[in-house]
Structures are given as structure tokens and as C-alpha cells.
Amino acid sequence: MNRRKIFSLSLGLAMLPSVAVAQQKPIKEQIAGTWTFVSALDIYPDGRRNDRWGSNPKGIFIFDGNGRFAQFITRSDLPKIAAGTADKGTAEENRAILGGLVASFGTYTVNEAEKTVVTHVDGGAFPNLIGVDQKRMILSLTADELKYTNPATSTGTTAESIWKRVK
């Protein structure tokens, strides 16, 4: 191979990563859509790990293209309220339900450089989060899977979560 061909080949290969990066969509475009909950581990400050969602949890995380979100996660074994109406739950029933439920909605922003999504909670099941920003650090993002860490959950833990895109 002559020098000109080697130089051309080397130059072409050197340019490939920048071309690939330039073609990748921004995170905000990549996360837009509907995601279904796979799993999350709560990590306590002492290092303990807990799967508070149990077996077969259900959940949905929706990011629309205009910066709005809605998130719901529930345990599959939430107790039924014996009295039959939502306003007649016992303290024990309500504690179990709130402990096995995440529900919030609001707005979100993306920091492309930091690879973070920040949700601003406008409303939800836990009133202490209303008006609060929650930062999620993206660990990996593909067309089909979103993995992130939420360093400050409503239970005082860090959560490592996995979601699959709904198709």
C-alpha cells in the first residue's frame, strides 16, 4: 500500500467516531416516549440494597417532547382496602399502599453535557416532593432501555432503575 492510500485510510478511520457522535440524537429526543418499569434497587447510605418493589412490579414513565413527564410505580401486592373505598383505608392499609407506590407528574429538563434528566414535580402521591427537582444520572440509554441513578429518592436512598421502551 502506498503512503497516500495509508494516509487516506487513516484519516477516514480517525473521522469515524466524530461522525458517529454527530449523528447521535440528543438525550431529550432519545428519552421521549413511554417506558415500562423493569426494576429498581434502593441503596441505603450504609450500602445495604433493597428491592422494595417486590416481584412483578408495574410502572410507567412518560416523557413527552414538550418537557412534561408522568411517572407511576406500584408493587404488585398492594393491599386492597377492606372498607372498599379509597377514603376509608386504615392507617396500616394506607401505610402499605404509600410505601409501595410512586406517582408524580410535572416538567423535566435534560442536561446533555452531564447526561442528566431533572424532573420538577408539580403534583403526586407524596406531597413533600411537590416543587422539588429530582436529578437522575443516566447510566446507559439505548433505543430500548434506560438505566439511571436517582441519588435522592423520597425514602432517603439512592435508586438504580431500569426501564424498557414501550413499543
Residue 138 in any domain: the answer is: yes
Q: Which residue has the cell 386492597?
A: 80
Q: What is the pLDDT of residue 156?
A: 85
C-beta pairs of 129-136 under 8 Å, 24+ apart in sequence: 129/104, 129/154, 136/161
Q: What is the pLDDT of residue 165?
A: 98
Residue 10 in any domain: the answer is: no
CATH number at residue 154: 2.40.128.280
**Residue ranges for the chain with pLDDT beneath 70:** 1-23
Tell me the sheet residues that pair with 101: 74
What type of residue is 100?
A: G
* H/E segment holding residue 120: strand 116-124
pTM for this prediction: 0.82
What does the CA dihedral 152, 75, 39, 161 come to, rounded to 10 degrees? -20
Task: Give residue 89's domain range.
Answer: 25-165
Residue 115 in any domain: the answer is: yes
Residue 14 in any domain: the answer is: no
Q: What total number of domains does the chain contain? A: 1
Q: What is the pLDDT of residue 15?
A: 46
Residue 31 in any domain: the answer is: yes
Give the Cα separation of 5 and 11 in Å (integer). Answer: 10
Residue 130 in any domain: the answer is: yes
Residue 61 in any domain: the answer is: yes
Residue 50 in any domain: the answer is: yes
pLDDT tens, 34-45?
A: 999 999 999 999
Q: What is the pLDDT of residue 23?
A: 61
